[in-house]
Amino acid sequence: MTLYKQINFTTISEETIKESLFYLNFNSLKFFKYLTADIIQELEAQENNFQKIDLLYKLLKNYNQKQIRNFIKYKPNLPSLKEQIISWIEEEIDYLSKKIKLESNQLATISNNETKTKFLTNLSVAQLSYFFGLLIETGIIKHKNQSDIFRFIAENFKTNNTEKISVDSIKVKYYNVENSTKKAFREKLIELLGLTKL
């Protein structure tokens, strides 16, 4: 009877019926699914996630401003229709926002990997690790977190034989220095000392 009074049969439309049912707090799950299906259809017509979020915020504003009969509802054990719709829209916004952030981080990582310029060294990985170890021991580099040093070497250097140095490889060679590595690097140091002659 209340629905009958709400509808002007001279201008009846699907939208009119939907608005009337919303006002009457017809919180049936089937009607909720019907409304969200309409929203999903609108979202699919958008070109990207930014446009989808923009649409959802407009709908959120619209539903927040809608009037509803709170003193009575079709299903007493369920939240009001307004609460259901608003909660659903907010969850969709949250999901899409997180998705955009994740995609942005992935693109940044790919971009960094593609554009990263590495220094080519004719030292081996073992010699490079040993060299940085000496820099730390002599206080030339003062950094307490050795893992940061290992990552720095891996991200910024490449050798003639290794384009991509792994952090684990550097770590193993850093803590297990072979005599052959020390000998080869000593020759490099002697060469450096020769260049310092006045």
User: Is residue 165 a contact partner of residue 153, using CB atoms and an 8 Å limit?
Assistant: yes
Per-residue model confidence (pLDDT) at position 178: 92
Looking at residue 197, the DSSP 8-state letter turns out to be: -
Per-residue model confidence (pLDDT) at position 95: 92
Per-residue model confidence (pLDDT) at position 79: 81
- 3-state helix vs strand vs coil in the chain, percent to 5: 65, 5, 30
Distance CA 111, CA 39 (A): 35
Phi, psi of 84 (to 5 degrees): -60, -50
Distance CA 170, CA 173 (A): 5
Per-residue model confidence (pLDDT) at position 11: 58
Q: Give the predicted TM-score (pTM) of the model.
A: 0.47
Strand pairing of 157-159 and 119-121?
parallel
What does the pLDDT profile of the chain (198 residues) look like in tens digits?
A: 444 454 454 556 677 778 878 877 777 888 889 888 999 999 999 889 899 999 999 999 988 888 877 666 667 777 888 888 899 999 999 999 998 888 887 776 666 665 678 899 989 999 999 999 999 888 898 887 888 898 899 889 998 888 888 888 899 888 889 999 999 889 888 888 888 877
Question: In which residue are the tokens 């019907």 written?
Answer: 34
Per-residue model confidence (pLDDT) at position 23: 77
CA trace torsion 55, 59, 62, 64 (10° rounding): -130
Distance CA 104, CA 99 (A): 8
Distance CA 62, CA 92 (A): 16
Per-residue model confidence (pLDDT) at position 160: 86
Per-residue model confidence (pLDDT) at position 51: 92
Per-residue model confidence (pLDDT) at position 77: 73
